[in-house]
Chains A and B, each alone.
Chain A
């Protein structure tokens, strides 16, 4: 009953307004308007459905070409496969290809391969869309079917289809690998051998690049390394042009695949050997790309150094311009190769004696020599030069570190003088010694001297170990501190991380404590943590130090046996006989606007004092005039 009523109402509603409306409108609307409406409606229809029409037309056109078996049949087939895969119509593709296969269409190997490929793509699609029912209920059958088609493709393959042969081998391995990676090893070897034995042929390199993307997506590092070797072999075969090789290597570098990039760039560089200038230019460019950037992060710092070395061996040290000189030294510093870093910084200072960066460079040398090479005399010499070639905070920092060296050696009077000089340098630079970390540290040291107290616990442990440089039985662990980033702006966090490598404890990690000291932006020492996050409020170079204190063990640099100074406990709960397992330090460069202190006008011009590293050298070169060579 209700249904009948509803239908009647619907019919009434549809008849009256339409017929009545039409009768009213017709006399007043010109015929032209109806044309416009018709055109509009047609265009709406076309815009909505034309893509489908075009697709259908395109597919039909391609199919006609394939059926025509003309010269473009093969490329049409490829296009049609892409067309279907792009629309995720795997069923449609498989069905069409099977029709061709059943009809005995040539080239059959391609048809069989494309069927298998479509089946694999179908399984991949199910996985991506989490269609688990299909993955677990249908994939096994489809995979088996695909293996059978690949076998048929291989059997039907004529000798010259190298690319297709490679594709078949790769897909066969992929199919097995997905099911059982272990069982796929043999097939990977088969693929690898096929790839290596292939004669140079256009398109193979692009194919390998595509495979590489697929292998990379599997997150299997050892497999990826093996695949890189295949790429390397192909690159060495010279079937790849220089441009292709370079572009590929660049792509790997972009993708942070340093290992693959390094291998390909080495082949590429080898090819440039006959053109010395080009070789050097490219080597230096690549060294910059692989080496430590401003943040201290590197794609492959040691490869960068290898490239700097290659460039300078080929063209002499003079091929390194000021920028390259500095970057090489900085790269070595980040690699913790202090000896070479000091030498590289020295080369820079000698080669560019008029650079405004000399102060910074000497300061870095001072830190590396004193704390890294444990050569206090050299450290003292470099800090002295840093003081001479800089002003403001940097000069004060150099003076403070000179004070520390003398303090550690129990040369109390000299230490006191340097601390005082650091304070007065700060003041004369317009900085508040009460607000500046450096001023507070120098004041703290002076107070310790005045009150005949031992140095702050963590700093004392650090300097003791540096001074003694002793190694216990079994050797001390290798301690390294890494700041991330190494260049930061004021008020932003820098994370210091300690890595202590111990060789003689097996898998048992000793329970170390970490005594942090140095310039920590006022951050309190948290002894239990190997990681410290610091936010600096003033710009300039900052040196953070850590003493890694071990359980009583083989490390044994004993705090109680220091050179000459009265040893007092830092606090009742701090033992006066501890073993320092090792020490580490890191230099960070803080840039940007001041947060806590207001520097004097002359110190505000930070660019003149120390340019930011990112454009430091070029800016220095542009801005440098002899009159800027000022000293305190």
Chain B
């Protein structure tokens, strides 16, 4: 039996210049979640794709009930057969599509040398292998290249350079040169993917809007901008700003709110739910055909589906089974707990809209949806403009 032919997923530009994602001939709003359900006691090297417990089946069921229509994976596993099975299960059993990402070897050791031809070739080869292996899966929605890799341009995170860039001397010139080098690579990959797989768009995973002016010049082949944004309750002027800087359809591939109040030092489901509802409300306001917004948003993927207990001090094997409450970074936009000690209020291990606990007997951790799960479920059923509602009050 042959598989049904994959229909084209594409971006449509409407007469009013709004952008719409078209899937199987109909508009599609990405109602997604970032999906990286590392079990309690395991770390980032956990092989989700080969997990005999098949967590995606339990999760897929819960996601379907919530109204999730897309999951975002950061990177496929090495066994493409297993990956295809998961993508297929998610789509066939639950109607959930897959945004498939690729780190572009960002976390490789030594640092990613995007200015080095050999390295670039290796990155390309890996991405093209992925596309070739998975492009026929009907569940694939689009590809995402990178994830906040642009934060490395300034050298503050995962620094990289090249003799050519170092010669420039001036830090700003070096940063722009790194951006140019990286975005050129993205452009080359995107153009090649279009040839290999014309049925799926290519998105670029960018942290905030940093260096998008450079991308505008060197990465025109990208179809969708996939942003990672943590601005608290509101995305602010992001939608309008993007129109000026890099006018592409926008999908959020990470946004959200942790469910731990670092000031009160207790789980906080209420604020997480309220923040997520505000964020979704803004996403909906900026979808195509909504006259109140910029019309350039095509949806988003909440960070994230389940908590990840491994994130704090992942080098400590004992800590992998502990739900740590020590905060990792500070972000004043999440004002409800910014009064925490040293203003450290962001808890990486608590971003799930589903909490996990060690279940006795079963190999799979138990799943308990948080309040946000239900609030967003209701929002997707009956979208409302939270800001307008608040103003009326």
- A182-B392 CB under 8 A given contacts A130-B269, A132-B369, A133-B369: yes
| Chain A: CB-nearest residue to B392 | A182
Cα distance A135–B375 in the bound complex, in angstroms: 10
A132 and B393 within 8 A (CB)? no
Cα distance A558–B217 in the bound complex, in angstroms: 56
Interface check A124, CB cutoff 8 A: no
Interface check B373, CB cutoff 8 A: yes
Q: Which residues of A contact B375 (CB under 8 A)?
A: 136
Cα distance A182–B388 in the bound complex, in angstroms: 14
Q: Mark A129-162, 1 if CB is under 8 A from B, else 0.
A: 0101101110000000000000000000000000
- A136-B269 CB under 8 A given contacts A130-B371, A181-B393, A182-B392: no
A132 and B370 within 8 A (CB)? yes
B373 and A132 within 8 A (CB)? yes
Cα distance A181–B393 in the bound complex, in angstroms: 9
Q: Which residues of A contact B369 (CB under 8 A)?
A: 132-133
Q: Which residues of B contact A181 (CB under 8 A)?
A: 393
Q: Which residue in B374, B392, B393 is a CB contact (below 8 Å) of A136?
A: B374
In B26-71, which residues have CB < 8 Å from any A CB? none
| Closest Cβ–Cβ distance, residue B53 to chain A (whole Å) | 23
A133 and B374 within 8 A (CB)? yes
B392 and A132 within 8 A (CB)? no
Q: Mark B5-33, 1 if CB is under 8 A from A, else 0.
A: 00000000000000000000000000000
| Chain A: CB-nearest residue to B369 | A132
Interface check B191, CB cutoff 8 A: no
- A136-B370 CB under 8 A given contacts A130-B269, A182-B393: no
Q: Which residue in A130, A136, A182 is a CB contact (below 8 Å) of B378?
A: A136
Interface check B377, CB cutoff 8 A: yes
Q: Which residues of A contact B377 (CB under 8 A)?
A: 136
Q: Which residues of B contact A130 (CB under 8 A)?
A: 269, 371
Cα distance A137–B373 in the bound complex, in angstroms: 12
| Chain B: CB-nearest residue to A136 | B374
| Chain B: CB-nearest residue to A135 | B374
In B330-378, which residues have CB < 8 Å from any A CB? 369-371, 373-375, 377-378
| Chain B: CB-nearest residue to A182 | B393
How many residues of B sit at the interface, in one of the four size bands?
10 to 19
Between B373, B374, B393, the greatest number of chain A beta carbons within 10 A of the residue's beta carbon is seen for B374
Q: Which residues of A contact B393 (CB under 8 A)?
A: 181-182
In B124-170, which residues have CB < 8 Å from any A CB? none
| Closest Cβ–Cβ distance, residue A222 to chain B (whole Å) | 12
| Closest Cβ–Cβ distance, residue B371 to chain A (whole Å) | 5
- The majority secondary structure among interface residues of chain A is helix
Q: Which residues of A contact B378 (CB under 8 A)?
A: 136
Q: Mark B319-333, 1 if CB is under 8 A from A, else 0.
A: 000000000000000
| Closest Cβ–Cβ distance, residue A347 to chain B (whole Å) | 44
Q: Which residues of B contact A136 (CB under 8 A)?
A: 374-375, 377-378
Cα distance A133–B371 in the bound complex, in angstroms: 8
Q: Mark A100-142, 1 if CB is under 8 A from B, else 0.
A: 0000000000000000000000000000001011011100000
Count of chain A residues near B, Cβ 8 A: 8
Cα distance A243–B377 in the bound complex, in angstroms: 52
Cα distance A31–B80 in the bound complex, in angstroms: 78
Q: Which residues of B contact A137 (CB under 8 A)?
A: 374
Cα distance A49–B159 in the bound complex, in angstroms: 69
| Chain A: CB-nearest residue to B269 | A130
Cα distance A130–B266 in the bound complex, in angstroms: 14
Cα distance A181–B374 in the bound complex, in angstroms: 20
| Chain B: CB-nearest residue to A127 | B371
| Closest Cβ–Cβ distance, residue A183 to chain B (whole Å) | 11
Cα distance A137–B65 in the bound complex, in angstroms: 12
| Chain A: CB-nearest residue to B370 | A132
| Closest Cβ–Cβ distance, residue A137 to chain B (whole Å) | 8
Cα distance A130–B369 in the bound complex, in angstroms: 10
| Chain B: CB-nearest residue to A140 | B378
| Chain A: CB-nearest residue to B393 | A182
Cα distance A137–B370 in the bound complex, in angstroms: 14
Cα distance A308–B100 in the bound complex, in angstroms: 75
| Chain A: CB-nearest residue to B372 | A132
Cα distance A135–B378 in the bound complex, in angstroms: 12
Q: Which residues of A contact B374 (CB under 8 A)?
A: 132-133, 135-137
Cα distance A130–B370 in the bound complex, in angstroms: 8
Cα distance A182–B392 in the bound complex, in angstroms: 9
| Chain A: CB-nearest residue to B371 | A132
Q: Which residues of A contact B373 (CB under 8 A)?
A: 132
| Chain B: CB-nearest residue to A181 | B393
Cα distance A135–B369 in the bound complex, in angstroms: 12
Cα distance A133–B369 in the bound complex, in angstroms: 8
Q: Mark A167-195, 1 if CB is under 8 A from B, else 0.
A: 00000000000000110000000000000
Cα distance A221–B377 in the bound complex, in angstroms: 31
Cα distance A137–B369 in the bound complex, in angstroms: 13
Cα distance A133–B375 in the bound complex, in angstroms: 10
| Closest Cβ–Cβ distance, residue A80 to chain B (whole Å) | 33
| Chain A: CB-nearest residue to B377 | A136
Q: Which residues of A contact B371 (CB under 8 A)?
A: 130, 132, 135
| Closest Cβ–Cβ distance, residue A125 to chain B (whole Å) | 16
| Closest Cβ–Cβ distance, residue A138 to chain B (whole Å) | 11
| Closest Cβ–Cβ distance, residue B302 to chain A (whole Å) | 16
Cα distance A182–B369 in the bound complex, in angstroms: 29
Q: Which residues of B contact A132 (CB under 8 A)?
A: 269, 369-371, 373-374
| Closest Cβ–Cβ distance, residue B221 to chain A (whole Å) | 43
Between A132, A133, A135, A136, the greatest number of chain B beta carbons within 10 A of the residue's beta carbon is seen for A132
Cα distance A182–B269 in the bound complex, in angstroms: 23
| Closest Cβ–Cβ distance, residue B37 to chain A (whole Å) | 19
| Closest Cβ–Cβ distance, residue A319 to chain B (whole Å) | 46
| Chain B: CB-nearest residue to A134 | B374
Cα distance A137–B375 in the bound complex, in angstroms: 11
| Closest Cβ–Cβ distance, residue A283 to chain B (whole Å) | 40
Q: Mark A239-277, 1 if CB is under 8 A from B, else 0.
A: 000000000000000000000000000000000000000
| Closest Cβ–Cβ distance, residue A401 to chain B (whole Å) | 38
Cα distance A136–B370 in the bound complex, in angstroms: 11
In A308-344, which residues have CB < 8 Å from any B CB? none
| Closest Cβ–Cβ distance, residue B273 to chain A (whole Å) | 9
Cα distance A210–B374 in the bound complex, in angstroms: 32
Q: Which residues of A contact B370 (CB under 8 A)?
A: 132
Cα distance A133–B370 in the bound complex, in angstroms: 9
| Closest Cβ–Cβ distance, residue B40 to chain A (whole Å) | 20
| Closest Cβ–Cβ distance, residue B352 to chain A (whole Å) | 14
| Chain A: CB-nearest residue to B373 | A132
Cα distance A135–B373 in the bound complex, in angstroms: 12
Cα distance A133–B373 in the bound complex, in angstroms: 9
Cα distance A130–B372 in the bound complex, in angstroms: 12
Cα distance A182–B374 in the bound complex, in angstroms: 22
Q: Mark B374-393, 1 if CB is under 8 A from A, else 0.
A: 11011000000000000011
Cα distance A182–B370 in the bound complex, in angstroms: 26
Q: Which residues of B contact A182 (CB under 8 A)?
A: 392-393
Cα distance A239–B269 in the bound complex, in angstroms: 44
| Closest Cβ–Cβ distance, residue A481 to chain B (whole Å) | 23
| Chain B: CB-nearest residue to A137 | B374
Cα distance A132–B269 in the bound complex, in angstroms: 10
Q: Which residues of B contact A135 (CB under 8 A)?
A: 371, 374
| Closest Cβ–Cβ distance, residue B60 to chain A (whole Å) | 18
| Closest Cβ–Cβ distance, residue B387 to chain A (whole Å) | 15
Between A135, A136, A181, the greatest number of chain B beta carbons within 10 A of the residue's beta carbon is seen for A136
Cα distance A182–B389 in the bound complex, in angstroms: 10
Cα distance A132–B377 in the bound complex, in angstroms: 12
Can you list 15 A-B contacts with CB-CB less than 8 angstroms, sorted by A residue number?
A: A130-B269, A130-B371, A132-B269, A132-B369, A132-B370, A132-B371, A132-B373, A133-B374, A135-B371, A135-B374, A136-B374, A136-B378, A137-B374, A182-B392, A182-B393
Query: Interface residues, chain B, CB within 8 Å of chain A?
Result: 269, 369-371, 373-375, 377-378, 392-393
Contacts A130-B269, A133-B374, A136-B374 known; 5 new A-B pairs at CB < 8 A: A132-B269, A132-B371, A132-B374, A133-B369, A136-B378
The 5 A-B pairs at the shortest CB distance, nearest first, are namely A136-B374, A132-B374, A132-B371, A182-B393, A132-B369
